[in-house]
Amino acid sequence: MKIRIKGNSIRYRLTKSEVATFCDVGFYEEQTEFKEYIFKYVLRSKENISHLEADFKNDTIIMYLPEKDKLVWKKSDRVGFQHTMALEKGKELFLLLEKDFVCLDETIEDQSDNYPNPLMDKKEV
């Protein structure tokens, strides 16, 4: 699972096997270790919500996907989910959860478990 944070926006991108694991068990976690701390980012399913939500507790970002969406995401063509979460004092947090596609440009990153990019057929040879 990849995470991108910019200002008040958080994006998670999951490979095929990560989506499958999440949809099967309702939970997926990654972590980055530092000298004295561990930063975690978690995707968890949650009942009784209608859109993405997020929280930050104990050095961990937790993004919540509605349980009903978790049940169908793995087998659907749906790329992802997004929601702008209202915060205090009129602020907002933009949340984006997506399937990770193979990049169209050259990269040294292992992409063997990524979803096929739908734009591959349109790429000029």
**Percent of the chain with pLDDT strictly greater than 90:** 72
Distance CA 83, CA 46 (A): 15
HSE of 117, CA atoms in CB hemisphere, 13 A: 12
Spatial separation of the C-alpha atoms in residues 48 and 50, rounded to whole Å: 7
3-state secondary structure of 37: coil
Summarised one tens digit per residue, pLDDT across range 23-33 is: 999 999 999 99
Q: Counting Cβ atoms within 10 Å, is residue 79 exposed (0-12), middle (13-18) or buried (19+)?
A: middle
pLDDT band (50, 70, 90) for residue 100: confident
Q: What's the confidence (pLDDT) of residue 79?
A: 86
Average pLDDT of 65-92?
A: 94
Asked whether residue 125 carries a pLDDT value surpassing 50, the answer given is: no
Write down all domains in the chain, each with its CATH number in brackets.
Answer: 2-101 (3.30.1360)
